Structure 1
Amino acid sequence: MSTDYNYDEQGQFFPYFVATMLLLALGPVTYSTFAPSKQTGLQNNPRIESTFKPADYDHIEQHKRKKRKESRRIKRMVFLAVGWSLMAYMIYLIVTASALAPKIWDPYVILGISMSATEKAIKSHYRRLSIKFHPDKVKLEGNDTMEAANERWVQITKAYKALTDEEIRKNYQEYGHPDGKQSYSIGIALPQWTIADGSKYYVLAFYGVMFGIVLPYYVGKWWYGTKRYTKDGVLMETAGRLFKAFEEDCDEKKAVEILSAGGLEKFKKDEKKMEGQEHIVESAIKGKVPSGVMKALGKMDGWKRKTYGLLWAYMTRTKFQDAKLDAEKLDVAQEAVSWNNSLLSIALAFSITKPILSAMRINQNIVQAIPPGGSPLLQLPYFTEELCERIEEFGAKDHWTIQRFMGLPEEKRRQLCIGKDGLTEQQYEEAMSVAQKIPILHVEKTFFKVQGEKSVTPNAICQLVLKVRVVPAGVKPPPVDPKDLEDEDPAEDDVDALIGRTPAKSKTQTGSSEKSPIPTNEVEKSGLLAESGSSLPTLTHAPFFPAAALPKWHVFLADRRAGRMIIAPMTILQFPEKTDNFQVQTFKLQFGAPPNAGEVHFQMHLVCDSYLGTDYKSSIVLKVDEQRMFEGRPREEDEISEPDEDSLAGLLASSQGKEVKRSAHHHHHHDDSDEEDESDTDGEEEEGSATDTDTDSDED
């Protein structure tokens, strides 16, 4: 047997090598590009329509276009398009080469018979082929030649003997060919010039650079890049600085100062170029921010001072003369939301109520571009600070919420808004339209319960059941059906409900045919009708924020006296029912009941992260009853038949002192003793064994 080494001068094996190298590079890049992102695309979500445009509308739109362009990853997409096109061409070459490659020698295929054919059938078939293909009898047709006919007959003869002759069959079975061992060649998937004396060093250098430097560099960059960020999408270094700056007694203004620690990566590199920019920012916001903010600015320097100033400039809606500063202001505002998510995670780890609420509420200020302590009415289009002061009667203790303002009579609202230095009729109508489309959760009922039980017992799996409705400001909802405020336990065969899994189709998606209990014009006026045909939540109305955002509501329980969070928050992202008919939405916060009996006083917080003045707070009491053995006679529907005395269950029950059903012969001999031993179980249940745990909340 001889062995030959052949180089791939005709490119027969080279496509395999190129395809393998391409797959190593394209696989990770494709996955990282098209892997599901943590941030859901919001292009198809419905919006609250408004023609209002902020003063720096052009800068905001330019910033959005810039971010959309960055998110497309043009360079990476071009690389993938070229790479996969080349991969498709390599696959085409591989398929073509496979079709032209020599086939494995198979006598059954040559003779055209089945592998299950007997020796008699093989001989009979061979005789028929000899009549047709023997060189002395074959008839040449077309381009067929005598040499081709002789070669065909030789192959037929070899195939016949490989299946009938003992010696030839042995060669075929052992070596795969009737002639015995065959010489073979090893194909190298490279052309010969690659190892020639003049080029082999260049080829080796190329492979050394590709596999020793380039590939490890990009793999390491991708790997360590994924490890540099927290689950909130914040750099580990930034999260560490936020943690160091965190304070337990943190209010909204202090939260802005903590968030300014996130600007290091953005401004540290250009620290020399931004000399003097801090003073421009400081002079622009002077007079618009509290004096404490200016004092805090004076104590800072460098990148932190600039970040802090830009955050306040954004929230006070300050427009710079420098377009670059306006762009940086919007960048900082958008990134501040991610920084704040990290700050909220830190606050939740400490379980202190004040910083948790501060982190949730400062997100409202960032999204709506309103400084801490600003009026919630500034969320409405065309509303200015001067107009808000006039509406709130300047000097009042508290700012007005949108709900309070929309609760005024229509004539009073028009009188306060329309006129000199106020709004036009068209601006007023648009502002009222937006106000009536902002989703506000109205809590109808809250109570604790244990699934399948009448009362809450120690260490039980307890649920806080929250019954709410989406009631926009200025819209009077219909009365609530008492049945909607009840919470029935799911059926035993409803696996989704028992394990808390969301069913495949919600009622919104199944197309409920229920009619709205309020007039159609009121539904259209509320602006919620557009949501009924779509399962996607409506985007936050935030014309000053340079990105699309979804409103989220956080629900958690806290101890008011200790000032600590007791039960971790539940986040509401989407409503399970339709909102166009003010249907009651049900949410459940599950936790473990206290180990001891008694009353536990909680303070429930419902906080929206996108709209100011929509928070809800109430006191709620959890009654935990002592776990007692059931003493009354069971009801007919609860009765369980006693096991037979002679059965295995009866023996186990008898050993534990429980009653069992006597056998027939035993019952016949001991009727009298059974009557004497029968105990009277017709007792009354103890008071409090069926404690009502529906604890309606009292709003503070």
Structure 2
Amino acid sequence: MARASFEYDEVGNTFYYVLVSFYALVLLPITYYFFPTGETTEVKKVNLHECQCHGCKEKRQRKEANKPWRRTKKIAIYVGLTVAWIIFAFLVKKMTEIEVKHEEYNPYTVLGLDQGASTSEVKKAYRELSKVHHPDRGGDPVRFDQIAKAYQALTEEEARKNWELYGNPDGPQATTFGIALPKWLVSEEYGMWVLAFYGFILLIILPVVVGIWWYNSIKYSVDKVLLDTTQLFYYFIHRTPRMETNRMLMVLSGSFEFWKQYNKDIIERETDNLDLPRYFVRKSQIHANLNGKGESLN
């Protein structure tokens, strides 16, 4: 039984198929995820999920006005996706230009005869070609070897049987498996670097990315509320089931979403530690004065 052999892509033709396939697997979801949506879609999302009172609308407008980089980001995404798709189109074009050279062995073609030519015609063609291509007469040895094998395949019973069964007058050949990777990837010069690159991706980059995603996802509940905030609410509600408006606002304002450590959009000012205590003291005084006036009227 003939042994199997493996052949790498010497020219780089079949490697384009692998490259285009993996490139498309990455490009399509990235395009779907990052493709900028229109203003109408964004407004619809806001209308569905956010408060529509006058104050909240003004706050959102001020917030959007303070993001001049948003338009720049959208343009950068458009440009990046356009370049990525141009590269994809170039790779597809190169792939379509690849010529697949695979010719079935046909001894009639080698001898320049029509299919099914008679034995006498085969012998005549062999004699004529031997006069031209025989090495003793200055011919090409490789070409003459092909002619001799073709003649043998059409005149000898065993050789003809091998050709009909295996496509070759010499009998079964080694099974060849093509690997769609450039040969330099497994060469002694670059093989270790390629292996190190794969190890870096699989053993370092991939675990880090999965770990970051997992760490961020476990901080939130199903409703996209921080678990720390949920525990805080549970504690206060369990402690004081009946809440007045002031205490309810106090509990809500204590959410971890308003802490910069959990929410990068929060702007913390040094003056908050001075202004907020004064505000609460002043609010308490106003509340006490109002209660005092109410008691005097009674």
Q: TM-score normalised to the size of structure 1? A: 0.27
Contact 1:3 1:184 (C-alpha < 8 Å) held by counterparts: yes
Of residues 268, 271, 274 in structure 2, which corresponds to 1:276? 271
CA distance in 2, matches of 1:215, 1:293: 58
2:182 aligns to what?
Answer: 190
Give 1:68 deviation, angstroms: 9.2
The one-letter code of the counterpart of 1:192 is W
Contact 2:228 2:256 (C-alpha < 8 Å) held by counterparts: no
2:247 aligns to what?
Answer: 254
CA distance in 2, matches of 1:25, 1:227: 26
The one-letter code of the counterpart of 1:280 is D
Query: How many residue pairs align between the two structures?
Result: 241
Of residues 160, 171, 179 in structure 2, which corresponds to 1:180? 171
Give 1:206 deviation, angstroms: 1.8
Q: Secondary structure at the match of 1:13?
A: helix
After TM superposition, the structure 1 = structure 2 runs for residues 291-306 of structure 1, keeping only pairs within 5 Å, are 291=284
Give 1:186 deviation, angstroms: 5.1
Identical pairs, percent: 24
Contact 1:5 1:185 (C-alpha < 8 Å) held by counterparts: yes
2:136 aligns to what?
Answer: none
The one-letter code of the counterpart of 2:241 is E
Question: Larger % of helix: which?
Answer: 2
Question: Larger % of strand: which?
Answer: 1
1:217 aligns with 2:208: yes
1:332-370 deviation per Cα after TM superposition (whole angstroms, max 9, x unaligned):
xxxxxxxxxxxxxxxxxxxxxxxxxxxxxxxxxxxxxxx
Judged with a 3 Å threshold, the aligned counterparts in structure 2 of structure 1 residues 227 and 27 are, in CA distance, closer, same or farther, namely farther
CA distance in 2, matches of 1:29, 1:211: 21
The one-letter code of the counterpart of 2:187 is I
CA distance in 1, matches of 2:211, 2:243: 39
1:288-331 deviation per Cα after TM superposition (whole angstroms, max 9, x unaligned):
xx539999xxxxxxxxxxxxxxxxxxxxxxxxxxxxxxxxxxxx
Give 1:220 deviation, angstroms: 4.3
Q: Secondary structure at the match of 2:13?
A: coil
Give 1:4 deviation, angstroms: 6.1
Give 1:32 deviation, angstroms: 5.1
1:95 aligns with 2:86: no
Judged with a 3 Å threshold, the aligned counterparts in structure 2 of structure 1 residues 215 and 80 are, in CA distance, closer, same or farther, namely farther
Q: TM-score normalised to the size of structure 2? A: 0.53
2:64 aligns to what?
Answer: 63
The one-letter code of the counterpart of 1:196 is E
- Unaligned ranges ≥5, structure 2: 48-53, 129-139, 289-293
The one-letter code of the counterpart of 2:273 is E
Give 1:16 deviation, angstroms: 4.0
The one-letter code of the counterpart of 1:205 is A
Judged with a 3 Å threshold, the aligned counterparts in structure 2 of structure 1 residues 214 and 232 are, in CA distance, closer, same or farther, namely same
2:104 aligns to what?
Answer: 105
Give 1:194 deviation, angstroms: 5.9
1:201 aligns to what?
Answer: 192
Contact 2:8 2:183 (C-alpha < 8 Å) held by counterparts: yes
- Unaligned ranges ≥5, structure 1: 48-52, 111-123, 137-146, 296-394, 396-700
1:41 aligns to what?
Answer: 41
1:452-508 deviation per Cα after TM superposition (whole angstroms, max 9, x unaligned):
xxxxxxxxxxxxxxxxxxxxxxxxxxxxxxxxxxxxxxxxxxxxxxxxxxxxxxxxx
2:131 aligns to what?
Answer: none
CA distance in 2, matches of 1:58, 1:204: 53
CA distance in 1, matches of 2:80, 2:214: 19
1:525 aligns to what?
Answer: none
1:11 aligns to what?
Answer: 12
The one-letter code of the counterpart of 2:104 is W
Judged with a 3 Å threshold, the aligned counterparts in structure 2 of structure 1 residues 93 and 178 are, in CA distance, closer, same or farther, namely farther
Judged with a 3 Å threshold, the aligned counterparts in structure 2 of structure 1 residues 245 and 285 are, in CA distance, closer, same or farther, namely closer
Q: Secondary structure at the match of 1:41?
A: helix
Give 1:208 deviation, angstroms: 1.3
Give 1:277 deviation, angstroms: 1.6
CA distance in 1, matches of 2:58, 2:16: 54
CA distance in 1, matches of 2:219, 2:43: 28
1:240 aligns with 2:231: yes
Contact 2:20 2:88 (C-alpha < 8 Å) held by counterparts: yes
RMSD between superposed Cα atoms in Å: 5.5
Which structure has more relative contact order (CA 8 Å, sep 6+)? It is 2
Give 1:77 deviation, angstroms: 6.7
1:1-34 deviation per Cα after TM superposition (whole angstroms, max 9, x unaligned):
5766555453223334434554565466456557
After TM superposition, the structure 1 = structure 2 runs for residues 672-687 of structure 1, keeping only pairs within 5 Å, are none
